[in-house]
Amino acid sequence: MSEFQTRLDALLEEFELFDDWEERYRYIIDLGKDMPPLDASEKTEETRVLGCASQVWLVMDPAPEGILRFRGESDAFIVKGLIAVLVRLLDGLPITEIQEFSIRDTLHRLGLDEALSSQRTNGLISMVERLKQASRA
């Protein structure tokens, strides 16, 4: 089993504890609140993710070759929580696993595909594309 699958399974188990979307929504927001904020100097045009309705920044951190490390922040609580989900699932994984990652499949497995607006889903797609681009660089 891949590291990604292990992480996704753990997140799926956590989500199963909640009866409805509203509880999952609050949990995602709480995940975002637990993330350390980016330094103001890291919130630049270079780190800003275009295609998101809210302000989103993703910072790639130095890592051993073949591994992608990143952190992020948003000015919207739910989006910051969604970034926290991405960090939990993808941070520190081999680049090959990140290249194979499907945000649509993952949202479906987490039961978030029907709960998130198309605008939020498009924002997540933009974030994942930024991560995939960084991992190719």
pLDDT in tens, the chain (137 residues): 789 999 999 999 999 999 888 899 999 999 999 999 999 999 999 999 998 889 999 999 978 888 999 999 999 999 999 999 999 999 999 999 999 999 999 998 988 888 888 899 999 999 999 999 988 87
- For residue 54, how far is the Cα from the chain centroid? 14
| β-pair partners for 56 | 74
Amino acid at 53: A
The confidence score (pLDDT) of residue 87 equals 97
Answer for the pair 70, 61: CB distance below 8 angstroms, yes or no.
yes
- Residue range 3-136 in CATH 3.40.50.2300: no
Amino acid at 98: I
d(CA 4, CA 129) in angstroms, rounded, equals 17
- Among residues 2, 22, 15, the alpha carbon closest in space to that of 108 is found at 15
The confidence score (pLDDT) of residue 13 equals 95
Amino acid at 106: T
51: enclosing H helix or E strand: none
User: How far, CA to CA in Å, does 12 sit from each of 21, 50, 57, 71, 106?
Assistant: 13, 29, 26, 22, 10
> 31 is written with which tokens?
């995940």
Q: Please list the active-site residues.
A: 52
Residue that the structure tokens 């997540």 belong to = 124
